[in-house]
Amino acid sequence: MIEAQDVSLQYPDGTVALKPFSLFIGGGELIYVTGPSGSGKTSLLQLLLGMVAPSSGLLSVLNQPMSGARGADIRKLRRKVGPVFQEFRLTAGRSACENVMAGIRFLRPASGSLRQEALEALERVGLSHKAASPIEHLSWGERQRVAIARAIARKSELILADEPTGTLDKENALIILSLLISLRDEKTTVLITTHATHLLEPARASGVIRMDSGRLDMSRGGDGR
Ligand SMILES: Nc1ncnc2c1ncn2[C@@H]1O[C@H](COP(=O)(O)OP(=O)(O)OP(=O)(O)O)[C@@H](O)[C@H]1O
Ligand SMILES: [Mg+2]
């Protein structure tokens, strides 16, 4: 699923966001990524999504080698991933339902049930009643849940959720975390980054990646499903 050997990431301005690390994450794993602001959590997810290329080492995601990957390879990979961006990346002027539909429109052959699938995902995050509302009328927490619904609707092999509970109150954060965790199955791997370590239940995860100033430290354990 994800294999990294001595991978590092340096941005063009010289910032070393990720120091050389190696890790292996298999299918069906639930991994938490924790660490203070600026420690490299988003950079790690961007690397896995092919939004930035590794500066060194060997990285493969869903069997796609990321070093030297062509644009077409990256587009193909991204179709298999369900990202939840820290800054949501929703389209203003479109309804919650249309935003979710946009995330799945080109993934599968049209079955005529696109709207239905989007509505089901919105229902899972408790937002059916806002389906027709324009994004800019939604609260930040509601927008966060739309972004999560869009990732859920994709039914991806790999869910990369960047601070998915960042704008939610404790009650909603726990509901959303449970929902993301429930997506984990034999085939689907889920990575969740967060500052909010007090909300996590490490015993439910198969591993925790602790980040500090670009250094990754992965511990394994738990794995209670
Ligand atoms: N495009 C970029 N160019 C240069 N430096 C960057 C770029 N993006 C991020 N960085 C730097 O890389 C480091 C890691 O940033 P990153 O966004 O991955 O942290 P984070 O752990 O996700 O933080 P937060 O918890 O605040 O979201 C920071 O020092 C940041 O300033
Ligand atoms: Mg971040």
User: What is the chain's pLDDT, residue by residue, as a tens digit (225 residues)?
Assistant: 999 999 999 999 999 999 999 999 999 999 999 999 999 999 999 999 999 999 999 999 999 999 888 999 999 999 999 999 999 999 999 999 999 999 998 887 666 689 999 999 999 999 999 999 999 999 999 999 999 999 999 999 999 999 999 888 999 899 889 989 988 887 899 999 998 888 888 778 999 999 999 999 999 876 655
Residue 10: strand, helix, or coil: strand
What is the number of other CB atoms lying within 10 angstroms of the CB of residue 199?
Answer: 14
Contact 42, 86 (CB under 8 A): yes
Question: Ligand 1: which of 41, 85, 86 to mutate, judged by most atoms within 8 Å of the beta carbon?
Answer: 41
What is the number of other CB atoms lying within 10 angstroms of the CB of residue 12?
Answer: 7
Q: Which atom of ligand 1 is nearest to the CA of 46?
A: 18
Token pair of 53 as six digits:
């290329």
For residue 124, give the amino acid letter.
R
Token pair of 94 as six digits:
């479109």
CA–CA distance, 100 with 152 (Å, rounded to integer): 9
For residue 32, give the amino acid letter.
Y
Q: Which atom of ligand 1 is nearest to the CA of 86?
A: 27
pLDDT value at residue 129 = 98
For residue 198, give the amino acid letter.
H
